[in-house]
């Protein structure tokens, strides 16, 4: 293999990732179980109102779900189950956590995917154009709009879009319709507002980062060399400058992706009522359904770790000077 050290590096990173994931799961577990509430709480209100003997029933519920055992036993049980791929049972929805996830991941996935593609495509192109035409009116406008884009509170944008396009203009429905088949045009239409909401912030970021990465490279020596060779300008910009700009660009994008996208997707799902993983975990938190919370955290963590690893590997191909020895 051309880069033999790469294989060792990947193995090291995977081990590292597992350790971090374990640490995070443990912390989440402890946090959730350390709280004063328990899954039995949602029954409490009803029970007290009907004058039943609360404590006995609570005990019974807790025994059923294994919540009366000491915490380290619960933890051990959970980890063992996890090892076997069993993510537990969701109290609030009465189904295995894995099934719950299976039913809902696709909604998050399509939202994030479409938003990312939209944002990346438009954002990078505008960023390149803006950098090449620095100091022109177009550049100023693009820069200003990118500031606006990253400053708009994501959830407010969603509400505003609903206000304008659904309530006042009636072009879209106010809530995401889950009965639509996934690969239909109607579904796409229903996703327009959510994608715009999530995508705008991402797009603005892409414009900014691409522009700054391109600007850093536009005045470098090899650009003059490329022009002196008689290469057409689009090759100079597209091949020489952009390839070098990719490195810092990818860095910042991946850095952002983990934090902003997941936070933003979370909020977008809540605003539009999209039943993705964000919405699920949100409901689970309010229902004290800890297996779901831990499971979603785990997924989020793994994705971030995976993205980081892929980025670091991509680096070595983008910049041949980088080695992980």
Partner 1 sequence: MNDVILKATNLKTYFFTRRGVVKAVDGVDFELRRGECLCLVGESGCGKTVTALSILGLVDSPPGRIVDGKVMYNNLDLVKCSPKQLRQIRGKEIAMVFQEAQSALNPVLTVGDQVMEQIRVHLPIERREARNKALSLLEEMGVPSAERVMNSYPHQLSGGMKQRALIAMSLTCDPQILIADEPTTAVDVTIKAQILDIFRELKAKSQMSLIFITHDLAVVAEIGDRAVVIYGGKNVESAPVSEIIANPKHPYTAGLIECLPDISQTTDRLTSIPGNTPNPIALPQGCSFHPRCPKAMEICSQRQPPQITISQEHEVSCHLYQ
Partner 2 sequence: MIERLQHMAKKVGRPLYGNRRLISYYWERTRRNKLAVFGIAFILFLILLGVVGPFCTMDPTMVDFEKKNLPPVGFTAVKSLYHIETDELTTTEIHGTWKHPLGTDSKGRDMLAMIVSGARVSLLVGLIATGIAILIGTVIGVLSAYLGGWADNVLMRFTDIMMTFPFFLLLVLIVFIFGPSLAFIVLVIGLTGWTGTARLIRSESLSLRTREFVIAARALGASDGRVIFRHLIPNVISLIIVIATLSIPGVILAEAALSFIGLGDPTVPSWGIILEAGQHSLDTAWWVAVEPGIMLFLTVLAFNFLGDGLRDAFDPKSNV
| Residue ranges in contact with partner 2 by CB under 8 A | 20, 23-24, 27-28, 31-32, 34-37, 147-148, 150-156, 159-160, 162-163, 167, 174, 258-259, 262-263, 266-267, 270-271, 281-282, 285-286, 293, 296-297, 300-301, 304-305, 308
CA atoms within 13 A on the CB side of 62: 18
Angstrom distance (rounded) from CA 111 to CA 139: 30
Asked if 87 and 250 touch (Cβ cutoff 8 Å), the reply is no
Considering beta carbons, is residue 117 or 159 the nearer one to partner 2?
159
Build a one-symbol-per-residue string for 210-249: x at contacts with partner 1 by CB under 8 A, - elsewhere: ---------xxxx-xxxxxxxxxx-x---xx--xx--x--
Cα–Cα nearest to 96, from 312, 254, 306, 292: 292
Considering beta carbons, is residue 147 or 317 the nearer one to partner 2?
147
183 binds partner 1 (CB under 8 A): no
Choose the contact partner of 301 out of partner 1, partner 2, none; CB within 5 to 8 A by kind.
partner 2
Asked if 19 and 25 touch (Cβ cutoff 8 Å), the reply is no
Map 119-173 to HEC letters.
HHHHHHHHHHHHHHCCCCHHHHHHHHHHHHHHHCCHHHHHHHHHHHHHHHCCCCC
Considering beta carbons, is residue 84 or 219 the nearer one to partner 1?
219
Nearest-5° angle of CA 298, CA 301, CA 307? 140
CB of 56 to partner 2, least distance (A): 26
Query: Residue 206 contacts by C-beta under 8 Å, 6 or more apart in sequence?
Result: 119, 120, 122, 123, 124, 127, 253
- Interface of this chain with partner 1, residues 135 to 174, rule: CB under 8 A: 135
Choose the contact partner of 219 out of partner 2, partner 1, none; CB within 5 to 8 A by kind.
partner 1
Choose the contact partner of 262 out of partner 1, partner 2, none; CB within 5 to 8 A by kind.
partner 2
Considering beta carbons, is residue 178 or 225 the nearer one to partner 1?
225
Residue 208 CB burial class (10 angstroms; 0-12, 13-18, ≥19): buried
Considering beta carbons, is residue 153 or 232 the nearer one to partner 1?
232
Considering beta carbons, is residue 141 or 167 the nearer one to partner 1?
141
DSSP 69: S
How many residues contact partner 1, by CB under 8 A?
A: 26
CB of 276 to partner 2, least distance (A): 13
Q: Which two tokens stand for residue 266?
A: 């979370």
Beta strands in the chain (DSSP E): 89-90, 95-96
Considering beta carbons, is residue 237 or 267 the nearer one to partner 2?
267
Choose the contact partner of 226 out of partner 2, partner 1, none; CB within 5 to 8 A by kind.
partner 1
Asked if 198 and 111 touch (Cβ cutoff 8 Å), the reply is yes
Residues that bind partner 1 (CB under 8 A): 134-135, 219-222, 224-233, 235, 239-240, 243-244, 247, 318-321
């Amino acid at each position: 293999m051309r880069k033999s050290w790469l294989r060792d590096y990947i193995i090291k990173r995977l081990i590292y990732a597992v350790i971090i994931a374990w640490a995070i799961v443990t912390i989440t577990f402890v946090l959730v179980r350390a709280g004063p509430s328990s899954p039995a709480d949602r029954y409490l209100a009803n029970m007290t109102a009907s004058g039943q003997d609360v404590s006995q029933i609570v005990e019974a519920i807790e025994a059923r779900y294994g919540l009366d055992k000491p915490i380290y036993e619960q933890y051990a049980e959970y980890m063992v189950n996890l090892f076997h791929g069993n993510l537990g049972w969701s109290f609030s929805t009465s189904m295995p956590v894995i099934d719950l996830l299976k039913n809902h991941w696709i909604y998050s996935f399509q939202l994030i995917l479409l938003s990312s593609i939209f944002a990346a495509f438009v954002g990078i192109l505008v960023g390149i154009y803006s950098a090449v035409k620095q100091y022109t009116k177009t550049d100023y406008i693009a820069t200003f709009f990118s500031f606006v884009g990253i400053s708009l509170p994501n959830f407010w944008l969603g509400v505003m879009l609903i206000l304008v396009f659904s309530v006042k203009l009636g072009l879209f429905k106010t809530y995401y319709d889950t009965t639509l088949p996934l690969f239909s045009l109607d579904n796409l239409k229903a996703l327009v507002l959510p994608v715009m909401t999530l995508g705008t912030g991402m797009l603005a970021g892409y414009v900014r980062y691409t522009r700054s990465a391109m600007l850093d490279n536009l005045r470098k020596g090899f650009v003059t060399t490329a022009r002196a060779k008689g290469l057409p300008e689009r090759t100079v910009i597209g091949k020489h400058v952009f390839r070098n700009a990719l490195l810092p660009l990818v860095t910042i994008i991946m850095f952002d992706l983990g934090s902003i996208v997941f936070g933003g997707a979370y909020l977008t799902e809540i605003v539009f009522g999209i039943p993705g993983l964000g919405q699920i975990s949100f409901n689970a938190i309010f229902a004290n359904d800890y297996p779901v919370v831990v499971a979603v955290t785990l997924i989020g963590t793994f994705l971030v770790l995976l993205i980081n690893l892929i980025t670091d590997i991509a680096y070595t191909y983008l910049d041949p000077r980088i080695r992980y020895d």
